[in-house]
């Protein structure tokens, strides 16, 4: 991926950290409606749907596909690659080279109409083929891209969780992109990569909702502004203080994805 433009994609399959064999508790009558609805949405066996509901305390709005077979399958990974490359192409065609940071969130209908990395076939067609080959229900739920000016921009990235070997795009349970401005004098590339990755890792771990300013005063554990949060890797500093001390990057914007989360405005 180029430095000045990166994309993130979220699907409906994620990888559980481990597999356990146990006797599943009985499903109460009150849970049957949720079980049937989950079965209808995913097409997965009742036992897997019941286990997914059990892990989520019976709350249907937090449940997504839980099969590692899907996420570890090469066909699924190719679909994710096609979606990521299609999103990148959408980013490049969206407008002239940016003079500031720009961001765009793609809805399901927009994402379905993108062309995949092959430059011809629609993602909706790639999705239909993958569903047919895997025999599992899949949803390309959302995607997003960030752009920054080429001359002073830098996009940091971090993916957390299971990562397939030699994957053409980064995959994981959590991911973050951070759009930054490079400070002068320009630091070495290794410094930019190190500092940027640490900030993106913080975004994954602490889930800020806004950038804020370096002058913001911290508000404790409830702080949601990135630059005022206690830095994940050096708790004695705020993120703003960490960046000020390193003198490499200034944060402009960020994206954070958690596999399976609902897009904004849809609840869950």
Domain span including residue 223: 152-268
Question: 179 and 263 share a domain?
Answer: yes
Outline where DSSP puts E strands in 40-167: 102-106, 140-147, 153-160
Distance in angstroms (rounded) separating the CA atoms of residues 268 and 201: 24
Question: 128 and 237 share a domain?
Answer: no
Question: 172 and 117 share a domain?
Answer: no
Distance in angstroms (rounded) separating the CA atoms of residues 115 and 19: 36
For 39-49, write each residue's pLDDT tens digit: 665 556 677 77
Give me the CATH number covering residue 108.
Answer: 3.30.479.20
Q: Which of 130, 150, 170 is the last residue of a domain?
A: 150
Q: Which residues, at least 6 apart from 15, have a Cβ–Cβ distance to it below 8 Å?
A: 68, 71, 72, 161, 162, 173
Residues found in the chain:
268
Tell me the pLDDT of the chain (268 aa) as tens digits. Answer: 444 566 666 554 443 443 333 344 444 444 677 777 766 655 566 777 777 777 666 655 464 444 565 777 788 888 888 999 999 999 988 766 778 899 999 988 898 899 987 778 899 999 899 888 888 788 888 899 999 998 999 999 998 876 666 667 888 888 999 999 999 999 999 999 999 999 999 999 999 999 999 899 999 889 999 999 999 999 999 999 999 999 899 999 999 998 777 766 554 3
What is the domain count for the chain?
2
φ and ψ at residue 51, rounded to 5 degrees: -65, -40
φ and ψ at residue 203, rounded to 5 degrees: -60, -40
For 66-81, b/e burial (b = at least 16 CB within 10 A) is: bbbebbebebbbbbbb
Name the 3-class secondary structure at 86. Answer: helix
Q: Are strands 5-11 and 140-147 parallel, antiparallel or unpaired?
A: antiparallel
Question: 100 and 139 share a domain?
Answer: yes
pTM of the predicted model as reported, rounded to 2 decimal places: 0.74
Name the 3-class secondary structure at 90. Answer: helix
For 122-165, write each residue's pLDDT tens digit: 999 998 998 888 887 888 888 999 999 989 999 999 988 766 66
Q: Which of 99, 123, 150 is the last residue of a domain?
A: 150
Question: Is 57 part of a structural domain of the chain?
Answer: no
């Amino acid at each position: 991926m180029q430095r000045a433009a990166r994309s993130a994609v979220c699907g409906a399959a994620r990888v559980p950290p481990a597999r356990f064999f146990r006797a599943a508790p009985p499903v109460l009558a009150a849970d049957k409606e949720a079980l049937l609805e989950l079965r209808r949405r995913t097409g997965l066996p009742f036992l897997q749907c019941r286990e997914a509901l059990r892990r989520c305390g019976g709350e249907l709005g937090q449940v997504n596909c839980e099969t590692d077979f899907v996420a570890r399958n090469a066909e699924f990974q190719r679909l994710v690659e096609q979606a990521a490359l299609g999103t990148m192409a959408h980013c490049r065609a969206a407008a002239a080279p940016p003079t500031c940071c720009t961001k765009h969130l793609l809805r399901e209908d927009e994402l379905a109409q993108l062309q995949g990395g092959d430059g011809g076939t629609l993602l909706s067609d790639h999705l239909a083929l993958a569903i047919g080959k895997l025999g599992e229900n899949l949803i390309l739920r959302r995607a997003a891209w960030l752009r920054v000016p080429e001359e002073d921009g830098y996009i940091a990235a971090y993916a957390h969780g299971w990562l397939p070997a030699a994957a053409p795009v980064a995959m994981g349970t959590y991911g973050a992109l951070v759009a930054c401005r490079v400070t002068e004098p320009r630091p070495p590339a290794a410094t930019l990569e190190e500092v940027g990755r640490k900030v993106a890792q913080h975004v994954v771990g602490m889930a800020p909702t806004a950038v804020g300013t370096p002058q913001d005063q911290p508000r404790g554990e409830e702080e949601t502004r990135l630059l005022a949060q206690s830095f994940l890797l050096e708790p004695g500093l705020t993120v703003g203080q960490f960046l000020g001390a390193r003198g490499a990057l200034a944060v402009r914007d960020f994206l954070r994805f958690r596999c399976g989360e609902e897009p904004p405005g849809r609840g869950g």
